[in-house]
A and B are shown apart, each in its own frame.
Chain A
Amino acid sequence: MDRQTWDQVREAFLRANEALPEERRELLAALPPEVCHEVTAMLKSEEEAARVLEPADGRLPRGASLGAYVVEEFVAQGGMGEVYRGHRRADFEKSVALKVLAPVFLLREAERLFARERQMLAQLTHPNIVTLLDGGHIEGRPYLVMEWVEGKRLDEWTQGRTLIERLDLFRQICNAVQTAHENLIVHRDLKPSNVLVTEGGQAKLLDFGVAKLMDWGGGDSEPTRSIQRLFTLRYASPEQARGMAAGVPSDIYSLGLLFFELVTGRRAQAVENLPMDEALHFITSRELARPAGMDRDLFAIAAKAAAKEPGQRYRSAAEMGEDLHRYLRGYAVLAHPPSIGYRLGKLARRNKSAAAVVAVAALAVLAALAAFIVQFRVAQRERSLAEKRFEAARQMAQLMVFDAPQKLAGVPATLEVRQWTAERAADYLAQLARGVEGDVPLALSVARSYRQVAFQYFNTNSENLNDPAKALDALERGAAVLERLRHKSAEVWVELAENRLARPYVRLRKLDPAVANEKAAFEITERLRAERHPLAEELHARVLYLQATNDRHSPAELIRIWGEVERFYQEQLRQAPTDGERMRQLALIHKNVSGVYAARSDWPEALRHDRLAVEQDERRLKLKPDDPVGRMDLSFSYGRLGQDLFLSGQRVEGIAYIRKALAIRRALAERDPQDRRARDRLAWMLGLLSDHLLAAGEIPEAQQAAREALLLLDAIKTPGVGDYSIAGLHRLLALGFEKNARRDEACLEWQAAQAALPAGYVPMPGALLREEDVRKYAAACAARSSSAR
């Protein structure tokens, strides 16, 4: 190694060592390979290096006595002293943590603090606070005996945890801090190394060592103030940085920073490497900034807690915990400026009719439910959260004061709850719609609410009830309310366009109404364009998009329409290069264009657009790695690219991409076993893989994939209703058996395929299953079995 490389290694190591996991990954990725290699190795064995190469001076050897306790091993060096693991004499079973004040800190102040810590900790018993067991002096060095907590430091624990797990843990921290505050104890040094998390996910707060009894009557004493330097600046509040007394608001501030780091994996207050004066300036003046991709509500919570002005922070840790609770339940957080909820409330006040109030209540429940379900699905695999589901259902029931609350209380599946709520909301809206008569704002609000309900029934972005017919019904009712208005404002036209854009005709295979709908939508956007309405261009592009997804147009016409849509979204993305929704649109366009080319067997063009879609989806996922929609989208792109590669003759590459798509869908389906759509899509991809493997002659694996898919579909199919996918999978199994000359088994599969085929099935071009095939082979199979008889 030369000097220059060492300088690079040293700088990178120091930065990475202080960085949080997310930043660390980015930092390492940017290094030259040899530097990265060295730094990674150094980081990996950092702890061991510190243990082996730290001068052991002054440490207690194994077997040393501290009163009734015996030292087993040195654990760590903290700001206040050394920590050892030990046990009570003749009680080897139960470990304790022994904290001994380092001789170098044997100042009078520190000694006083240490004694105080002892006294206060003894008063504090809480499941999330490390319990003090004993204390004393050895050769002039005071020591504490504490409950031994086997766990990870908060920042280490965070890696690989879901958001819901992190938030849940943070609420425990809030509880612990609240309890301490109620006992007039301020922590003053909240940081990740002072929070341990046990195997069972329990948070344990350590080191109330610098806390002091809040003295409501008097001010700070000199010594306490002068040891302010002991604080970790990275989590220090502005008032602490200024050397002023630190009270409850100061802890709330540190909690805010801790929360920010827990959620984002990024440092909130990166001041370690700044000179003291710059660090202090940073702490007192630099507001938290929301990183791209951070949830706005969560950021609002962090920012409120970490407000520079103590008076603007949450008044207590409990209040912060409650706001988080609110977030988890999908209610508007207090930290947020008033928005939709506020507006809905105002609407209710403006229109004092009971119907309006009912609609508002219903929509509030819907919104709560939608947010709750998103969160809940993430957490569903956690058994401990089962109780919370019940609790959430109970709370919603309370909100839904207009109908039998007990109906929700014992509901086993969220799907059912949503179904019920959506129906209720639609009923309320129907009542409300009758009283609109010329009231434009109310008509708009009803129409929008109908669109919300329709969105619950069916949409292409997120979990829904997968009932496009009911969605269409709600949209048509919403539009009818607007159509009745004599004077339509631009806002009404915009809503009418949105309404038409949301209608799932194509999905319902109602192709003629689909074309008529597109035409009507086109006329509305033309009208808005003539008025130069600010939303006109976007709506226009979306209408073109809608037209382009309808396969009734000629390929040449389709390519022209797509070209226009693509140009619009390219321009949009240029204006906001990290806008996820626009990236998604552009990827979708590429996927659709590739489909047009693929239908004409123009593989180079199809593959080019497939790759552009993959690129866009991968870029988007990088910005928001845990987003299930983004992951599902990428699985579509991979699947599409795999399919087209395969069809163009690049079979090995094609199958590799299909496997990538499959891996994503498997993960998504495992995340929530009750998510019907995720299973459906997993099954679809398995079918595709099976089909291609069969074509490639990999029969056993092809059949295995088809069986797995059938098993998945079996659990979610509707009895008595035909299913193309099930028929197609049986067909694949039959073909596999045919190839292996296992005719009897093939025959059974053909029969199963035929049985599964819906009545009046119209094969689509490129569909997995061709009806003629099935009927032909099934007939042949029947002939065989009758001749065998």
Chain B
Amino acid sequence: MSGHDANPAPITQLLSRWSAGDAGAFDALVPLVYGELRRLARLLLSGERSGHTLSCTGLVHEAYLRLAGPTQIDWTNRAHFFGAASRAMRRVLVDHARGRNALKRGEGVVPEELDQVVLAVEPDLDVIALDRALEEFTALDPDRAKVVELRFFGGLSIEETAEVVGSSPATVKRDWSAARAWLFQRMKGYSNQ
């Protein structure tokens, strides 16, 4: 696949600025990655892999490799990248779900590339409710909310998540399990409304 034309430089720069303490860099990163993820999804689906399930992990890792290349970014930046990618992925999924809902109501258009993608989340998962619950959770416990975002939307494994947030796999596992149960309660609350 030679069709990729994204320039990795801005992302690398943004990551460096972010790790140097520039919070604005993160906001700039997310849309960049977001665009990349959507582009990637389209690309992957157009080719020989059409019809396959695209997973969040696959997309995020693929995006990472394309944008940065495995050797060009040090680990701190790599961690930051996954943070941004997870956030971007969350937006992709939420937009997709909103688009679907809008389509059902007869308005709006679903981004075609996403409509083709059977994103590998449970079909009965209400992404919008999860997004809302996660927002509430972020206000309550921002650190653990980050774990959820990385783990669920970024598709990072327990070990990868632990490295990104700088804690132990055991702690991540516990945080993840408690947060998951809590979020699920909230989500149930929303859908009952």
Binding site for B on A (CB under 8 A): 1-3, 6, 9-10, 13-14, 17, 38, 41-43, 45-46, 48-59, 61, 104
> What residues of chain A lie closer than 8 Å to B55, measured between beta carbons?
55-58
Q: Report if B107 contacts A (CB, 8 A).
A: no
Sample 9 A-B pairs with CB under 8 A, ordered by A number.
A6-B140, A6-B182, A9-B182, A10-B178, A53-B125, A53-B130, A53-B180, A56-B120, A58-B55
Bound Cα distance A53, B188 (Å): 12
Binding site for A on B (CB under 8 A): 53, 55-58, 118, 120-122, 124-125, 130, 140-141, 151-152, 155, 157, 174, 177-178, 180-185, 188
> What residues of chain A lie closer than 8 Å to B155, measured between beta carbons?
55, 57
> What residues of chain B lie closer than 8 Å to A3, measured between beta carbons?
140-141
Knowing A3-B141, A57-B58, the reply to whether A46 touches B121 (Cβ < 8 A) is no
> What residues of chain B lie closer than 8 Å to A58, measured between beta carbons?
55, 57
Contact check, A45 vs B151: say whether CB atoms are below 8 A apart. no
Beta-carbon nearest neighbor of B144 in chain A: A10
Bound Cα distance A54, B174 (Å): 14
> What residues of chain B lie closer than 8 Å to A57, measured between beta carbons?
55-58, 120, 155
- Smallest beta-carbon distance A633→chain B, Å: 41
Bound Cα distance A49, B125 (Å): 10
Beta-carbon nearest neighbor of A74 in chain B: B122
Bound Cα distance A698, B49 (Å): 79
Contact check, A45 vs B122: say whether CB atoms are below 8 A apart. no
Knowing A57-B55, A104-B157, the reply to whether A52 touches B122 (Cβ < 8 A) is yes
> What residues of chain B lie closer than 8 Å to A1, measured between beta carbons?
140
Beta-carbon nearest neighbor of B151 in chain A: A55
Contact check, B177 vs A52: say whether CB atoms are below 8 A apart. no
Beta-carbon nearest neighbor of A17 in chain B: B177
Contact check, B122 vs A42: say whether CB atoms are below 8 A apart. no
Partner of A14, one of B57, B174, B184: B174
> What residues of chain B lie closer than 8 Å to A13, measured between beta carbons?
178, 181-182
Partner of A51, one of B122, B185, B188: B122
Contact check, A49 vs B57: say whether CB atoms are below 8 A apart. no
> What residues of chain B lie closer than 8 Å to A56, measured between beta carbons?
55, 120-122
Contact check, B152 vs A55: say whether CB atoms are below 8 A apart. yes
Bound Cα distance A744, B174 (Å): 75
Main secondary structure of the interface of B (DSSP, over half): helix
Contact check, A49 vs B184: say whether CB atoms are below 8 A apart. yes
- Smallest beta-carbon distance B122→chain A, Å: 5
Beta-carbon nearest neighbor of B186 in chain A: A1
Contact check, B181 vs A46: say whether CB atoms are below 8 A apart. yes
Q: Which one of A38, A41, A49, A54 has the greatest number of beta carbons of chain B within 10 Å?
A: A49
- Smallest beta-carbon distance B177→chain A, Å: 7
Partner of A45, one of B120, B140, B184: B184
Beta-carbon nearest neighbor of A60 in chain B: B53
Knowing A13-B178, A55-B56, the reply to whether A41 touches B122 (Cβ < 8 A) is no
Beta-carbon nearest neighbor of B122 in chain A: A52
Main secondary structure of the interface of A (DSSP, over half): helix
Bound Cα distance A104, B169 (Å): 15
Q: Which one of A3, A10, A56 has the greatest number of beta carbons of chain B within 10 Å?
A: A56
Sample of 16 further A-B pairs with CB below 8 A, known A38-B182, A43-B181, A51-B122 = A9-B178, A10-B182, A13-B182, A42-B184, A49-B180, A50-B177, A50-B180, A52-B125, A53-B184, A54-B180, A55-B56, A55-B121, A55-B152, A56-B121, A57-B56, A61-B53
Beta-carbon nearest neighbor of B140 in chain A: A6
Bound Cα distance A57, B57 (Å): 6
Bound Cα distance A701, B130 (Å): 55
- Smallest beta-carbon distance B48→chain A, Å: 15
> What residues of chain A lie closer than 8 Å to B182, measured between beta carbons?
6, 9-10, 13, 38, 42
> What residues of chain A lie closer than 8 Å to B122, measured between beta carbons?
51-53, 56
Beta-carbon nearest neighbor of B174 in chain A: A14
Bound Cα distance A525, B120 (Å): 82
Beta-carbon nearest neighbor of A3 in chain B: B140
- Smallest beta-carbon distance B94→chain A, Å: 15
Knowing A45-B188, A61-B53, the reply to whether A53 touches B183 (Cβ < 8 A) is yes
Bound Cα distance A54, B158 (Å): 11
Beta-carbon nearest neighbor of B53 in chain A: A61
- Smallest beta-carbon distance B99→chain A, Å: 20
Beta-carbon nearest neighbor of A39 in chain B: B181
Bound Cα distance A41, B189 (Å): 11
Bound Cα distance A17, B177 (Å): 10
- Smallest beta-carbon distance A75→chain B, Å: 14
Beta-carbon nearest neighbor of B182 in chain A: A42
Bound Cα distance A710, B147 (Å): 68
Beta-carbon nearest neighbor of B181 in chain A: A42
Bound Cα distance A38, B189 (Å): 12
Bound Cα distance A614, B130 (Å): 51
- Smallest beta-carbon distance A327→chain B, Å: 38
Bound Cα distance A53, B178 (Å): 12
Bound Cα distance A61, B188 (Å): 25
Bound Cα distance A54, B177 (Å): 10
Contact check, A55 vs B174: say whether CB atoms are below 8 A apart. no
- Smallest beta-carbon distance A138→chain B, Å: 14
3 smallest CB-CB distances across A and B, nearest first, come from A49-B184, A42-B181, A57-B55
Bound Cα distance A164, B34 (Å): 60
> What residues of chain A lie closer than 8 Å to B178, measured between beta carbons?
9-10, 13-14, 42
Bound Cα distance A259, B182 (Å): 33
Contact check, A14 vs B124: say whether CB atoms are below 8 A apart. no
> What residues of chain B lie closer than 8 Å to A6, measured between beta carbons?
140-141, 182
- Smallest beta-carbon distance B191→chain A, Å: 11
Beta-carbon nearest neighbor of A55 in chain B: B155
> What residues of chain B lie closer than 8 Å to A54, measured between beta carbons?
180
> What residues of chain A lie closer than 8 Å to B181, measured between beta carbons?
13, 42-43, 45-46, 49
> What residues of chain A lie closer than 8 Å to B125, measured between beta carbons?
52-53
Knowing A13-B178, A57-B155, A61-B53, the reply to whether A52 touches B120 (Cβ < 8 A) is no
Bound Cα distance A476, B185 (Å): 70
Bound Cα distance A41, B182 (Å): 9
Beta-carbon nearest neighbor of B133 in chain A: A53
Knowing A6-B140, A55-B152, the reply to whether A41 touches B185 (Cβ < 8 A) is yes
- Smallest beta-carbon distance B131→chain A, Å: 13
- Smallest beta-carbon distance A2→chain B, Å: 8
> What residues of chain A lie closer than 8 Å to B118, measured between beta carbons?
61
Contact check, A45 vs B185: say whether CB atoms are below 8 A apart. yes
> What residues of chain B lie closer than 8 Å to A51, measured between beta carbons?
122
Bound Cα distance A48, B188 (Å): 11
